[in-house]
Amino acid sequence: MTTYGTTSDGRPITEADVQAWADEAERGYDIGQLKRRGRPRLGPEISLVLPVRITADLDAALSDRAAETDQSRSEVAREALRAYLLPA
């Protein structure tokens, strides 16, 4: 019996499994029912990644603020950029 690795629960993947998945794919999927993987979107547009170098003290302050506000470091940085660049 040929196998193609294992499933997430450790069961061997067989040719019958592959054929069943191929048949399912050929019937088509309801896109609304598929689970989205990865990070959640920030909005309707594609998000850009901005690599930036910061000093150790700024890094510590970022981590402290994130812990204080129960936010991710990225969200704290986005809020700081919004406040500085997009004042009300």
2, 19 contact by CB (below 8 A): no
- Tokens 């981590």 belong to which residue? 63
Residue 2 has a pLDDT of 72
Task: Calculate the CA 54 to chain-centre distance.
Answer: 24
Distance, CA of 23 to CA of 59 (rounded, Å): 51
Dump pLDDT digits (tens) for 18-71: 999 899 889 888 777 777 677 777 888 888 889 999 999 999 999 999 999 999
Distance, CA of 29 to CA of 34 (rounded, Å): 8
What residues does 3 pair with on adjacent strands? 14
